[in-house]
């Protein structure tokens, strides 16, 4: 790939998503964009990139950006976050929200839906203990294609074999031809929309729990800090933030602090939250 094409594409993807592409990702750019270029009628990648540069067509810029996202995900990814959810997070919130009986959860980079649906199944499995409680789960992703796939709630054999316990597969999915369709009872527990983490999230409302897992790793430090600070403003003092196994707030922002004795989950920094007046 020509150096100037690589630089142009890096700039496009970075400005529109925050994703950082390093030079060693040139092969990835080529392998992902060549099929896109062909689908859109170009004879070569060079021809496609030249036309995008000349015309600056926003739809093509969106398609290029989405093609460069990494959508790797699986049901109950890393297991522990969902165990912590039942053991630590839910009991604390059930106590703290006894008056409102409503808990709002945001999955901020939900990819093809396995993460929010894992949460929805976990909530459903709690059964009678949560009777009378209302859970609102909002799942968002930059990629329209991922949001559409998540909303449909159908998964391949390979996907349901990754992380999903067989009892939950049998209970909440039914086989339709080669694929597995998630029950409406679980599907309807999650609302989806396209949302870019570079944008202001305040219109989404406030959240008791935010899952922002395995997306910050693709951003540079200032972008990580900005995203985390904006999330902090949407959370009450006793809110909980989940990050991915390779992610942390340490050295990035002082708006969150690790939950004592619990890896991977964070709460609004108590001093900062009281000084700034956390969301309520």
Cβ closest to ligand SAM, residue 243 vs residue 278? 243
Per-residue buried b or exposed e for 45-84, using 16+ beta carbons within 10 Å of the residue's own CB = beebbebbeeeeeeebbbbbbbbbbeeebbbbbbeebbeb
Cα radius of gyration (the chain): 20
Q: How far is CA 253 from CA 101, 222, 226, 241, in A?
A: 31, 10, 9, 13
Cβ closest to ligand SAM, residue 48 vs residue 82? 82
For residues 5 and 119, what is the distance between their CA atoms, to the nearest angstrom?
A: 41
Residues 184-223 that bind ligand SAM (CB under 6 A): 196-198, 213-215
Cβ closest to ligand SAM, residue 219 vs residue 273? 219
Q: Tell me which stretch binds ligand SAM (CB under 6 A): 68-76, 147-155, 179-187, 246-254.
A: 68-76
When asked if residue 69 is in the footprint of ligand SAM (CB under 6 A), the reply is: yes
- Please identify which residue in 10, 19, 147, 182 interacts with ligand SAM, judged by CB under 6 A: 19
Q: Tell me which stretch binds ligand SAM (CB under 6 A): 7-15, 69-77, 93-101, 152-160.
A: 69-77
Number of residues that bind ligand SAM (CB under 6 A): 23
For residue 267, list its beta bridge partners. 257
Handedness of CA 204, 205, 211, 213 (dihedral sign): positive
When asked if residue 109 is in the footprint of ligand SAM (CB under 6 A), the reply is: yes
For residues 181 and 29, what is the distance between their CA atoms, to the nearest angstrom?
A: 32
Question: Contact positions toward ligand SAM, by CB under 6 A?
Answer: 17-19, 69-73, 77, 109, 111, 115, 141-143, 146, 196-198, 213-215, 244
């Amino acid at each position: 790939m020509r150096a100037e094409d690589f630089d142009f594409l890096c700039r496009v993807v970075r400005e529109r998503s925050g994703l950082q592409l390093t030079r060693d990702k040139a092969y990835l750019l080529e392998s992902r964009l060549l099929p896109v270029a062909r689908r859109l009628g170009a004879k070569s990648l060079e021809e496609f990139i030249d036309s995008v540069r000349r015309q600056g067509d926003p739809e093509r810029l969106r398609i290029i950006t989405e093609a460069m996202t990494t959508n790797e995900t699986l049901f109950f990814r890393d297991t522990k976050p969902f165990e912590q959810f039942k053991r630590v997070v839910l009991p604390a919130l059930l106590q703290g929200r006894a008056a409102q009986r409503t808990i709002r959860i945001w999955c901020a980079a939900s990819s093809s839906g396995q993460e929010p649906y894992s949460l929805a199944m976990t909530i459903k499995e709690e059964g009678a203990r949560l009777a009378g409680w209302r859970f609102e789960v909002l799942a968002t992703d930059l990629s329209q294609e991922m949001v559409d796939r998540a909303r449909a709630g159908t998964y391949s054999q390979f996907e349901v074999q990754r992380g999903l316990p067989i009892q939950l597969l049998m209970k909440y999915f039914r086989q339709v031809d080669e694929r597995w369709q998630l029950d409406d009872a679980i599907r309807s527990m999650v609302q989806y929309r396209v949302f870019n983490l570079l944008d202001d999230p305040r219109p989404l409302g406030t959240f008791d729990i935010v899952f922002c897992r395995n997306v910050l790793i693709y951003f540079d430090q200032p972008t990580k800090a900005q995203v985390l600070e904006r999330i902090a403003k949407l959370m009450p003092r006793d809110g909980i933030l989940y990050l991915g196994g390779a992610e942390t707030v340490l050295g990035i922002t002082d708006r969150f602090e690790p939950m004592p004795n619990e890896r991977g989950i964070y709460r609004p920094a108590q001093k900062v939250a009281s000084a700034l007046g956390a969301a309520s």
